[in-house]
């Protein structure tokens, strides 16, 4: 069965600093990987996704993520954080083309941005 | 604008009462989902529906019920059998029922049991 681990519960960075949020997954085949962002009291918004091909994927709001099969990781990065990036970030793994009913979410990483 | 509308945003319930959370979408998506979110936990799937008049249990369906009489609507009832119903509930949809996970979410409904 697949699973997702986000080892950092809470990260604090200064505005303008770089950011990396970690995500490790467990899945036997090539996974479908996602990063979602959730502002307080809101629903989730898809930041980016990886299905196949280029292992470095670009998303919205200046985020990118790199799929590393050897490390079973899909870390999210941003070169310069803005105060509006403060939110909770969820990594998710999908078990192939079987629908979102087989989508597993990590427990999230809360990002605080210091002015 | 297309999207998913959840209502109410906040709901208080006395123990022993059933409550129904509304979810409406105008995205013309076939699949719809209900998730529960608790602090420090990821999203957990309650129910999903890939087509009108059909739905399936997710990982934590006990104490919940749903219906899918229209493509646009997927209401969730939290019954008195749900032992710990206080949570944030999220409705989502996807264009393709077989899509791996590109979900569109509503803004959520926060249920508090008094």
Q: Residue-wise pLDDT tens for chain A (115 aa)?
A: 778 999 999 999 999 999 999 999 988 777 899 999 999 888 999 999 998 888 999 999 999 999 999 999 999 999 999 999 999 999 999 876 666 677 889 999 999 999 9
Torsion angle (degrees, nearest 10) of CA B87, B64, B92, A72: 80
Q: Which residues contact A81 (CB under 8 A, 6 or more apart)?
A: A13, A14, A15, A16, A17, A18, A19, A111, A113
Whether residue A35 lies within 8 A of chain B, CB to CB, comes out as no
Residue in chain A lying closest to B46 (CA): A101
Cβ of B43 within 8 Å of Cβ of A90? The answer is yes
SS3 call for A101: helix
Nearest to B106 among A36, A43, A98 (CB): A43
Flag if B92 and A41 touch (Cβ within 8 Å).
no
Please report the DSSP string for A63-87 in residue order.
-EEEEEGGGTEEEEEESS--GGG-E
Task: For residue B45, list chain A residues with Cβ-Cβ distance below 8 A.
Answer: 101, 103
Shortest Cα distance, chain A CAs vs residue B77, angstroms: 19
Q: Is B45 on the interface with A (CB under 8 A)?
A: yes
Are A103 and B100 within 8 A, CB to CB? yes
Closest-CA residue of A relative to B5 is A43
* Selected residues 10-29 of chain B with any CB under 8 Å from a CB in chain A: none
| Digit-coded pLDDT (tens) for B56-107 | 999 999 999 999 999 999 999 999 888 899 999 999 999 877 776 789 999 9
């Amino acid at each position: 069965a697949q699973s997702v681990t986000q080892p950092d519960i809470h990260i604090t960075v200064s505005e303008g600093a770089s950011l990396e949020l970690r995500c490790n997954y467990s899945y036997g085949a090539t996974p479908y990987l996602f990063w979602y962002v959730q502002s307080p009291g809101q629903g989730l918004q898809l930041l980016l996704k990886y299905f196949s091909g280029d292992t470095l994927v670009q998303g919205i709001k200046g985020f990118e993520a790199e799929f590393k099969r050897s490390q079973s990781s899909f870390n999210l990065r941003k070169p310069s954080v803005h105060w509006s990036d403060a939110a909770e970030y969820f990594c998710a793994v999908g078990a192939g083309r079987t629908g979102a009913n087989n989508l597993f979410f990590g427990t999230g990483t809360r990002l605080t941005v210091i002015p | 604008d297309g999207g998913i509308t959840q209502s109410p945003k906040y709901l208080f319930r006395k123990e022993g009462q059933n409550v129904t959370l509304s979810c409406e979408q105008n995205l013309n998506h076939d699949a719809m989902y209900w998730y529960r979110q608790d602090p420090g936990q990821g999203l957990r799937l309650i129910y999903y529906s890939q087509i009108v008049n059909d739905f399936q249990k997710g990982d934590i369906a006990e104490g919940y019920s749903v219906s899918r009489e229209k493509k646009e609507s997927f209401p969730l009832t939290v019954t008195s059998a749900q032992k710990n119903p206080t949570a944030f509930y999220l409705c989502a949809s996807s264009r393709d029922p077989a899509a791996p996970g590109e979900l569109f979410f509503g803004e959520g409904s926060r249920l508090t049991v008094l």
